[in-house]
Amino acid sequence: MSIKLGDIAPDFNAESTEGNLNFYDFLGNSWGILFSHPADYTPVCTTELGFTAKLKSEFEQRNTKAIALSVDGVEDHHSWIKDINETQNTEVQFPIIADKDRKISELYDFIHPNASATATVRSLLIIDPEKKVRLIITYPASTGRNFNEIIRVLDSLQLVDSHKIATPVNWKYGEDVIVPPSVSTEDAQKIFPKGVREIKPYLRYTPQPNT
């Protein structure tokens, strides 16, 4: 199965470090970040999970739940978490799915044969409250993810959903946003009372609406 942007994220039941869970029940009405790892006790993944744990309050502010997946078992996960907490000076408080049979990895296309016939690649999905896949990023096993970028994209997606805007290159929360071409300048001036700055008829900026 190949998952694309806009697809409904498949539901599943799994064993995890927080017990058996149903993915949809776990997410509820929240946004979700599902990310995979090639194996437990790997150095790059250890740093990633530690940093994710440190983002707990950031995710809570954005109504977002993180959930990780590794192809090892729950006992290994629990032992690995102790290492993560110790080496990364944090406390992992989100579930790590056990996927020894690789069923979830295959369901979510986390195994890329050209990269490895068996090991999961380092993929990450952002899933919205309607269970639609809104972002897919796949990294090579040797390169750690940039979770500051994940937060940035999450902010952009949530802002796009609540206002008729787009975000420009390297946008950060609080900076000017783009008025989409589908909104006329006349309508834009009504929708965005902070003002519209026109560079070209198709390139118009407005201050971030919710700040």
Integer Rg of the chain from CA: 19
Q: Architecture of 163-206 per CATH?
A: 2-Layer Sandwich (3.30)
Residue-level pLDDT at 66? 98
**Is the CB of residue 54 less than 8 Å from the CB of residue 113?**
no
H-helix or E-strand spanning residue 186 = helix 185-191
More confident residue, 117 or 193: 193
Least confident of 52-56, 119-123, 137-141: 119-123
pLDDT, tens digit, for every residue of 122-177? Answer: 799 999 999 999 999 988 878 899 999 999 999 999 999 999 899 999 999 999 99
| pTM, two decimal places | 0.92
Distances from the Cα of 101 to the Cα of 14, 73, 84, 126, angstroms = 11, 10, 24, 24
Spans of all domains in the chain: 13-144, 163-206
Distances from the Cα of 1 to the Cα of 9, 195, 208, angstroms = 11, 45, 38
- Domains 13-144 and 163-206 in one fold: no
Residue 141 contacts by C-beta under 8 Å, 6 or more apart in sequence?
Answer: 38, 42, 44, 115, 116, 119, 121, 122
Of 121, 122, 149, 153, residue with least CA distance to 31: 153
User: Of 14, 33, 34, 45, which residue is the catalytic one?
Assistant: 45
**Is the CB of residue 135 less than 8 Å from the CB of residue 153?**
yes
- Catalytic (active site) residue 45: yes
**What is the CATH number assigned to the segment(s) 13-144?**
3.40.30.10
Residue 206 contacts by C-beta under 8 Å, 6 or more apart in sequence?
Answer: 165, 176, 177, 178, 179, 188, 192, 194, 195, 196, 197
Distances from the Cα of 117 to the Cα of 21, 120, 129, angstroms = 28, 9, 33
